[in-house]
Amino acid sequence: MRQLTREDYEPYKKLFDEAYTEYLENLRLNNPQQYQKEKQDKREVTRSRFSFYLSTGSSFVAEEKTKVIGYVASQTISYMHGVDKLLWIEYMVVKPEHKRQGIATALLHKLIDHAKSNNINRIYTTINPDNTPSIKLHKKAGFNITHRKVASLKIGD
């Protein structure tokens, strides 16, 4: 495990695209209404978005033989949910052929260690309620998982 670097852009983008395609396919099969919404709001990794997570100092990659096989993108946020300083996990992705090998667990523990060493005492994320492996991963790491709904408002195009 190591910190994200500028050279990681292409593998990061490729992993994101693969995971997002898998996510959309799952929605297409199981939640067509949500699929149509997500398809319209296509998410992508731009250089500026990548640079943002690069600048946070709290985004990490997992490697095997110098090849990126997973990453966690996060940022520190001040004053949210009644907490002075928290770490927000935006994305955690592991290549499909490397899943169930402890990579996501190692990335999560790297993030927890980073939080501890930077006096951050809370980590938040959102998890798709249909993503059972992610729910199990976070529970195993000690996360308290609630069944909250996320509300958002898109402003403009």
Q: Does residue 119 carry a pLDDT above 80?
A: yes
Structural domain includes residue 153: no
Which residue range is the domain that position 83 belongs to?
2-140
DSSP state of 8: G
Give the lowest-confidence range in 72-76, 77-81, 122-126. Answer: 77-81
Write down the pLDDT at residue 154.
62
Q: What is the pLDDT of residues 22-78, one digit of tens each?
A: 888 888 888 888 888 877 777 888 999 999 999 999 999 999 999 999 999 999 998
Backbone torsions φ then ψ of 131, nearest 5 degrees: -95, 75
Structural domain includes residue 17: yes
CATH number at residue 65: 3.40.630.30
3-state secondary structure 76-132: EEEEECCEEEEEEEEEEEECHHHCCCCHHHHHHHHHHHHHHHCCCCCEECCCCCCCH
Structural domain includes residue 156: no
Structural domain includes residue 152: no
Write down the pLDDT at residue 32.
85
Q: What is the pLDDT of residues 82-109, one digit of tens each?
A: 788 899 999 999 999 999 999 999 999 9
Structural domain includes residue 149: no
List, in order, residues 6 or more apart from 84 with CB less than 8 Å away.
Answer: 78
The pLDDT-based confidence of 133 (bands split at 50, 70, 90) is: confident
The pLDDT-based confidence of 13 (bands split at 50, 70, 90) is: very high
- Enter the pTM of the model: 0.86
DSSP state of 149: P
